Amino acid sequence: MIPSYYEFINSVKILSGKNALENIPAELRGFEARKPILLTDKMLVKIGLAQQVADACGGSEIVIGAMYDDIPPDSSVEVVNDIVRVYRETGCDSVIAVGGGSVIDTAKGVCICLTEGTDDLLDHMGVDILKRRKTPFVVVPTTAGTGSEVTGVAVIANPAKNVKMEFVSANILPDVAVLDVRMTKSLPPRLTASTGMDALVHAIEAYTCLQRNPLSDAHAHAAINLIRKYLPRAVRDGKDEEARLAMANASLLAGVAFSNSMVGIVHAVGHACGGVLRAPHGDCMAILLPYGMEYNLSAVSERYAELLLPLAGPEVYARTSASQRAEKSIETVREMSAEYSRICGLPTKLREVGVKKEDFSAIARAAVNDGAMIVNPVEADEDDVLGILEKAY
């Protein structure tokens, strides 16, 4: 069914494949930028990925104005303000973010500050209120899961005021996303599985949330197809370049889908587990997905039935009767999680990632206040979330 009204945007230029990194200078030239600040984290500096991006700009007029690597796993407003200070001091004119979700969200925060001319992000949190970004912004993801390189969402903590600031706006979409297998080849199997399942959750929730539309559906469908075919290969053999590139594309496709359709209860509960206990996001997603799907089954069973085709492939889809396809999709997701648990130890229960029963009420309270709940197809209150947590424990 076509929505009576929808909006869709993906203005990000995508460079995908061999020597993609080496085209960053040409892209910056298009924006008349020649002195980017390179944002990354200490681990990526240590394993040489940040330097690899800097080196790829060699032989051009580009000068890396500063490499800022002091970005923690959770983006925070202090770090954003510090980067803005360095950016101004060093006379940079553009931003390159090399990293996972935290580095990319931090970079989005920096771009907001530079565009709005502020050092207080609190004044700019919200939905659809930001001005069009002025700073040229290139993103090089180093995991295949968050999809942040193509999403108009950033979450940045403000520990001093105890606020988790959410920014939702198409105006924070990067200009360029660079998918290069050199950036994800070193991801260990466990992290590959965890981030890949995160991308799968993005696609499944994007396909079933209230904001879904034909264009987000197409991206979600394509993402799930790629994940079915290539995630097992990427987990088993990290050096399989075709699988790595396919997974980077799957993550990006799922990112485009959920940036336009948003995510639902699985993310709301997963964000809450992460917020309350620092439980790893991808692991929580993999654990919670089947339980979230069961919760939503009554409202979106037709959508889940359609997803059996990309999730399980044409043979399974054809031999499953129409009335059983939705349940079969949930079963397929469970089998995928179990398979990655066997191959690389991906957790399948919340207790394995440090969630304790005494934290359930705090998690449930945080989950119902997560913005993802608005577009979930079924309404959920704290009792409903507690039910999901019990099952997933």
Partner 1 sequence: MASAYREIRPPAKRFERSCVSVLLWFVGRGFQAAAHVDKHVQDEVCGWKDGTIIAIGVAPCGPHMSVRKTGNRLRFLGNVKAPDADAVIEFKSLDAALLVLTGQIGIDRAYAEHRFSLKGDLFSIGMPLVRCLYIVESYLFPKSIAKKILKRWPKRSSSGFAVYFHTIFGV
Chain residues that interact with partner 1, rule: CB under 8 A: 3, 5-7, 125-129, 163-166, 168, 209-211, 262, 368-371, 373-375, 377-379, 381
Beta bridge partners of 39: 68, 97
In the complex, the smallest distance separating the C-beta of residue 150 from partner 1, rounded to whole angstroms, is: 17
* Nearest residue to 93 (alpha-carbon basis) of 28, 14, 175: 28
Whole-angstrom distance, CA of residue 76 vs CA of residue 102: 9
- Compare residues 129 and 362 and give the one whose CB is closer to partner 1: 129
> Closest approach of Cβ 369 to partner 1, in Å?
4
Q: Which helix (H) or strand (E) holds 170?
A: none
Q: With respect to partner 1, which residue has the nearer C-beta, 167 or 340?
A: 167
Q: Nearest 10 degrees: CA dihedral of 54, 20, 181, 83? A: 40
Instruction: Please say which residue, 148 or 251, places its beta carbon nearer to partner 1.
Output: 148
CB of 165 to partner 1, least distance (A): 7
Taking the complex as a whole, the smallest distance from the CB of residue 216 to partner 1 amounts, in Å, to 11
Nearer to partner 1, 10 or 249 (CB): 10
Contacts of 148 (CB under 8 A, 6+ apart): 100, 101, 104, 105, 108, 139, 141, 154, 255
Nearer to partner 1, 3 or 30 (CB): 3
Burial class (CB in 10 A: 0-12, 13-18, 19+), 160: exposed
How far, in Å, CA of 76 to CA of 81, rounded? 9
Name the residue with tokens 């979330």: 385
Report, in Å, the least distance between residue 128 CB and partner 1.
4
Distance of CA 220 to the CA centre of its chain: 13
Nearer to partner 1, 87 or 304 (CB): 304
Angle at 286 between CA 285 and CA 291, to 5 degrees: 85
CB of 11 to partner 1, least distance (A): 15
Helix, coil or strand: residue 184: coil
For strand 176-179 and strand 137-141, is the pairing parallel, antiparallel, or unpaired? Answer: parallel
CB 96 within 8 A of CB 69: no
Question: Residue 48 or 126: which CB sits closer to partner 1?
Answer: 126
Instruction: Give the residue from 238, 239, 149 showing the smallest Cα distance to 199.
Output: 149
Which residues does 187 contact at the CB level (< 8 Å), separation at least 6? 142, 143, 144, 195, 238
Least distance in angstroms from the C-beta of 378 to partner 1: 7
- For partner 1, the closer of residues 1 and 318 by Cβ is 1
Q: Closest distance between partner 1 and the C-beta of residue 375, in Å? A: 5
CB contact set of 22 (below 8 Å; sequence gap of 6+): 56
Cβ at position 3, least distance to partner 1 in Å: 8
Q: Which is nearer to partner 1, 7 or 120 (CB)?
A: 7
Confirm if 293 and 262 have CB atoms less than 8 A apart: no
